[in-house]
Amino acid sequence: MLVLARLYWRTLMIAALMIAIGLVAYGTSQFFSVLGTVETDVAGRSALTHSLFDRAKAQTIITAFAARPVRYQSVLYGSLTRVADPSQ
């Protein structure tokens, strides 16, 4: 019985070790695949050219974020209703 328990325990440990090694290898391969897509050229610019900065879109986003505090204050103080005091 003790031999069977040791064999089972060693099998579990070997399986856990192989899973851990596999996960580390997979993570490393994913890390290096991402690094390969973000390489820069000689001038230091990013090799990814699919998205360019759009100044009009950025200004729209900035304006929307600037309007948020005003909208928050109007919702916070504008919609207060009187509630009757339940203790009286």
State pTM to two decimals: 0.43
Whether 44 maps to a domain, the answer reads: no
Query: How confident is the model at residue 49, as a pLDDT?
Result: 55
As a whole number of angstroms, the distance between CA 11 and CA 15 comes to: 6
Q: Which whole number is the average pLDDT over 34-45?
A: 61
Whether 48 maps to a domain, the answer reads: no
Whether 69 maps to a domain, the answer reads: yes
| Alpha carbon 61 to chain centroid, angstroms | 21
Residue 5 confidence (pLDDT) above 80 = yes
Q: What percent of the chain has pLDDT over 70?
A: 80
Q: What SS3 class is residue 46? A: strand
Query: How confident is the model at residue 24, as a pLDDT?
Result: 98
Average pLDDT, the chain: 83
Q: Could you list the residue range(s) of the whole structural domain that residue 60 is in?
A: 2-37+54-78
Residue 42 confidence (pLDDT) above 60 = no
Element (H, E) at 3: helix 2-37
Residue 57 makes CB contacts below 8 A (sequence gap 6+) with none
